[in-house]
Amino acid sequence: MKLFPLQIGLRLKLTLPVVFLILVIMFSISFLFGLRHEQTLRSEMKRRAVRVAQTAGTMSLIPLPGVPAWTLSKSFVPLVPQLDPNVLYIVVFDELGKVQAASINQSLLKELLKQEEIASAEKELITEVTNARGIREERSGPSRWGSLLPVEVGLQPDGRGKVVVGFSLEEMEREVSSSRRTALGLTLGFVVLGVVVAVAVAASITQPIQVLVRGMEEVRKGNLAADVEIPNKDEIGALANSFNFMIAGLRERDRIKGTFQRFVSSQVAEKVLGAKDIVLTGERRRASILFADIRGFTSMSERLAPEEIVSMLNEYFTVMVDIIITHEGNLDKFIGDAMMAVFGAPLRHPDDPLRAVRTAVDMQRALLELNEERDRRGAEAIYIGIGIATGDVVAGNIGSEKRMEYSVIGDEVNLAARIQSKSGKQKILICPETFKAVQGEIKTIPLEPVMLKGKSHPVQIYEVVY
C-alpha cells in the first residue's frame, strides 16, 4: 500500500494533542503557582523588613534617664544582621539627615561581592545610602548589591528621623528558582507520563485498526481467507465484525462464481455477475447453437459397465467443456451423452458464429488426442458428430419459481439438433446462416440439401473442413 510522503500516523495524531494539552495545563499551573509563590515571598520579605525598621526606630524613641539619645539605637542596630540574615544594611538618620547608627551584613556582602575588598565596599554602600538618604526603589536583576527591597520607616510622632533598611531578595530568588526547577521537573515528569499513557491509549485504538488494514490489504491481493480477530467490544469491534461479514459475502460470491464457471468461461461469468444490463427474464437474441453427440453411444453402453460409462463421459465432458469455456461460450446443458452450447447468450460477441465453428473444430481435434490416450490405455475410442445453427432465439430463465435454468428456445435450437443428427463421426455440419457468417474464415463443402424433421423443405447444409 502506498502512503503519502507527509502522512501522519493515527497513533501520532492521537498522542500529540494529549501531550500538548498536558504541556499547556502544567505550564499554566507552574506559571500561576510560581507567580503566586513569588508574590507571597515578596510580601513576607517586606513585612519582615518593615518589622526590623520599626523595631530599630522604636529603640530610638525610648527615653532612658541619663542616657543620650540614639544610644539604644546604636546598640541595637549592629545586632540586626544577626537577627535577620537577609538584612544587607540598616541606617538610622536623625531629623537633620545625619547618620546616627549603621550596620552592614558582612557575611551577606561577602557572598554578593565574592573576592572584592569588603571594607571598602562597606564604606561605599553606606556612602551610597547616606547620599541618597536611603535607596528608595526596589532593585532586581544584575546589580553590585544584588536584588534589594528598600524599606524606609519614619520615626513618629515627632518626626525625629527615619530608619532605612536594605532587605536582600537573593534568598527569595533562589527559592523561587528552586520552585521553578521543581515545577519544571514535575511538568516534564507529567509530560513523560502523559506520553506513555497517550501512546498506550493510542495503541489500543490503532493496533486493531492496523489489523483491519492488513486484512483489507490481503483482500486487495485476492486472499479472501483473511478474517480478522479483534476482541474489542466497541465500535472497532463492530467494524471488524462487519469486515468479516463482508469477507464471508465475498467468499460466497466467489463460490457462486466458481460454480458458474463450471458452465461458462471465467470471462463470461465475471461479465454476467458484474454487468447491469444482463436480462434473465426472456429476450430475443441472435445466437449460434452447437449440439455435439457421441456416435454409437447406445452400443457402447451395452458393452461397457455403468461405472466405465460414467468414467468415460466425465473424461470426455472435461475436455469438451474446457474448449467451450476457452471460446467464451455458454454450456447450456448436458443431454445424456450429448451437450448443447450457446454463443451469443447471455453475452454476445460480434463473431459468435465463428466462435461456435472454431469451438467445434477444436473439439474434434482434441478428441483425436484423447482417443490416442485412451488407445494407449486400451480404452474404446470416442467419436462425435456436431451440428451448428445460427438465428434468432429467445433467451432467459425457464422453469418454475422454485427451480429455473438459463437456456434458449426457438426454431434454430431445433435446427441445430436436427443438423447434428445428420452429422457422422468426426463431422461438423452447419446451417446456411452460419455459413454466411463464417464464409471466408472457415473452409466448407456444400452438401446436398436434406429433409429435416419439422421442416417442410429441404435444408442446405455445409460440412466444415478442418
Query: What are the pLDDT digits (tens) for 135-153?
Result: 444 444 446 777 888 888 7
Residues of the chain with CATH 3.30.70.1230: 276-464
CB-based contact 167:151 (threshold 8 Å): yes
Higher pLDDT among residues 300 and 248, named by residue: 300
d(CA 252, CA 175) in angstroms, rounded, equals 75
Structure letter (DSSP) for residue 166: E
Structure letter (DSSP) for residue 426: T
519544571: which residue's cell? 184
Q: Would you state the cell numbers that stand for residue 90, as one nine-digit string?
A: 540598616
Q: Would you state the cell numbers that stand for residue 214, as one nine-digit string?
A: 492488513
Residue 165: how many other CB atoms lie within 10 Å = 31
Residues of the chain with CATH 3.30.450.20: 10-175
CATH class of 10-175: alpha beta
CB-based contact 451:411 (threshold 8 Å): no
CATH class of 276-464: alpha beta
Nearest to 294 by CA among 325, 319, 330: 319
Residue 64 reports pLDDT greater than 70:
no
For the chain, what is the largest distance between any 2 Cα atoms, rounded to a whole number of angstroms? 168
d(CA 85, CA 207) in angstroms, rounded, equals 62
d(CA 427, CA 424) in angstroms, rounded, equals 5
Q: Would you state the cell numbers that stand for residue 407, as one nine-digit string?
A: 437456456
d(CA 401, CA 404) in angstroms, rounded, equals 7
pLDDT (mean) for 351-378: 96
Instruction: Among 10-14, 108-112, 343-347, name the one with the lowest average pLDDT.
Output: 10-14
Q: What's phi and psi for 340, nearest 5 deg? A: -125, 130
User: pLDDT tens, 157-172?
Assistant: 566 788 888 888 888 8
Kind of pairing between the strands at 427-430 and 384-399? parallel
d(CA 354, CA 182) in angstroms, rounded, equals 91
